[in-house]
Structure 1
Amino acid sequence: MMNEDILNELKKLNRNVSAMLAITVDRHLRDTDLAKPRPRSIDHMLADLGLTGTEIAKLLGKTRQAVSIALNKDRQTVKRKTNTKDAEQPVNDEERK
């Protein structure tokens, strides 16, 4: 049981360090124009790294509900962009000609 608790804490620490590194690298890339990372909220970036909504809320000083709202907005934006791209693509070979 003790080893499992230690392992869980190490995994949590790894996620938090990964989150800090991702935020730092993202900011550096944007500040130096070395690359153009895709626009996304910090909430989404942290969720992509495996942090839970509760962990994200605690890190950002938000409520769990505020994090959920931000993540849902990001998902809706991605869906709209995907639908727009699909609408612009030809559906079959005849339309491509």
Structure 2
Amino acid sequence: MELDPGHGPRPTTDDLHALREAIAQRLAARWGEAPPWGQLTLRLRLARGEDIPEPWATLCLRTDELDVWQTEDVWLAVGVADRDETDETRLLATVTRTPPP
């Protein structure tokens, strides 16, 4: 899910990273600190042909790192999709029951 920043001028990449950080701080206060998850390893595994389940396969291709929390059997991830220079930068949030690989 893309988080819509609202009306007005499009936020910059720096704005979206700051917003991701602010969201991560609020969620860390609720569910505990979680170090950012780098996506390079998943991209390498995907490139080798390994089956990476969704939404993690798409997230690893669109983001460099995610903030991830687990609460019971639900996973929540927040990241900035800024890897594709031809696409708009987006703030993403994902809630899934599929654990990260």
Normalising to structure 1: TM-score of the pair?
0.31
Computing the radius of gyration from Cα coordinates, the structure with the larger value is 1
More strand by proportion, 1 or 2? 2
Normalising to structure 2: TM-score of the pair?
0.30
Structure with greater contact order relative to length (CA < 8 Å, sep ≥ 6): 2
More helix by proportion, 1 or 2? 1
